[in-house]
Structure 1
Amino acid sequence: MPPAYHYLYKKAAKNLDEPYTIIENFTKELYADTSRADIKVKQVVRRYVETDRDVVIWVARVAPAEIKHKLLRGFTYYLRGYAVTKRSPDSTPGQALGSSAMLVDLP
């Protein structure tokens, strides 16, 4: 399978008064081999810092604007996910134990 590439060509980010929270809107072009798609994404990213770990949570709404030059209407999917990093007691300053998971919702 050939590698996939992407190009981000429009982005707006808004930092809220809430620390570690960002709202982003961006449009991205994805392509692999002869397939191409433009997608519009709106996402909220929130980071929680705790004494023994960091947790990053995101919620995104992804709507394809165009696939192979054909407009798609009404096709939207939602992503929810999180990543957790936690330092092991045996780790060194340059190495840490991490874990991650992602949940994808399709309406």
Structure 2
Amino acid sequence: MSPAPGPEASRDDRADFDMLLSGIDKSRQELDAVFEANGLGRMETAHRTAKIEHDATRGMVMEIYANKVMPFDMDTTGKAVWRHFAHSMDHMPHRTYYEKQPLHIEASDDTVVERYGLEMTDGHTNGDFHVKHIIRRYVEDERIVVVWRTITDTVEFSAEPTPGIRFLEKGYIVIKPPSTGERDCMLMQTCYIIRPEIHKRNGPDQTRKVGALTDFVLSSVTGSISASHQMIENVLLSGALKKGI
């Protein structure tokens, strides 16, 4: 594990958090267009897609999205989803969080701002990262929306130092009733859009490193969506059983 940045944010840290904060409300505004483009907005059945696309203006972009039906009401589902993504991610399998530092930048019951170190494992491959993260919840009349923006700086990958490679992540979750109007069954729709950025040259094999890192991140995030859905459902089922006792 590499030491995470200290509690005193550097100038670069402040610039990164300013960028994340300015982007979080933009994520909320663009959510419907994103879900319309990838089909989640019209999706009613269980589904999962993970893909890498190459865009002429944005370069390489990963998009991972999933739709899951949760047999619980919106308020109960929304609280479990927020508790998981805002406060319980350190229980995720194949991930080790260290030196977590909650930051009091616009923090509230509906906004969490933090910085932490993260080790991820996928098969026999390990990655060590420094992460800056903002997540925010919006409770609307007919749905609950959770959005986040994350900057992930790669420290080490497969025991090789990897300075200057970072991933910019935008995440979206919508909890809403299906078009049938049922209130005891919710759709949980999740989308990650992740783009690698290179800030300094890493030698002649940099293209290989970025490609391998991208595959690693895509696989890890795809697995984390499945794990998150299962953990949230387990919490909801456990709560329902306790109420029934």
User: Per the shorter chain, which TM-score range?
Assistant: 0.7 to 0.9
Map 1:9-28; keep pairs closer than 5 Å: 9-15=98-104, 16-28=106-118
Map 1:7-86; keep pairs closer than 5 Å: 7-15=96-104, 16-86=106-176
| Aligned with residue 183 of structure 2, among 91, 100, 104 | 91
Give the TM-score taking structure 2 as reference length.
0.38
Distance 1:96 1:33, change over 3 A: closer
Gaps of 5+ in 2: 1-92, 198-245
Task: Give me the whole-angstrom Cα distance separating, in 1, the residues matched to 2:191 and 2:182.
Answer: 23
Give the structure 1 partner of residue 192 of structure 2: 102
Question: C-alpha displacement at 1:61, in angstroms?
Answer: 0.4
CA deviation map 1:55-92 (0-9, x unaligned): 11110000111123322111111001211111242232
Task: Give me the whole-angstrom Cα distance separating, in 1, the residues matched to 2:108 and 2:94.
Answer: 33
Distance 1:20 1:105, change over 3 A: same
Task: Name whichever structure is richer in strand by fraction.
Answer: 1
CA deviation map 1:40-64 (0-9, x unaligned): 1101111111011111111000011
- Please say which of residues 14-23 and 51-60 is displaced more in the overlay: 14-23
Partner-residue secondary structure (3-state), 1:44: strand
Task: Give me the whole-angstrom Cα distance separating, in 2, the residues matched to 1:66 and 1:106.
Answer: 15
- What is the aligned residue count? 102
Identity %: 24
Distance 1:102 1:21, change over 3 A: same
Higher relative contact order (CA 8 A, sep 6+): 2
Task: Give me the whole-angstrom Cα distance separating, in 1, the residues matched to 2:127 and 2:143.
Answer: 37
Alpha carbons 1:91, 1:97 under 8 Å: kept: no
Gaps of 5+ in 1: none
Alpha carbons 2:175, 2:188 under 8 Å: kept: yes
Largest Rg, 1 or 2: 2
Distance 1:100 1:17, change over 3 A: closer
Task: Give me the whole-angstrom Cα distance separating, in 2, the residues matched to 1:22 and 1:101.
Answer: 19
Alpha carbons 2:95, 2:121 under 8 Å: kept: yes
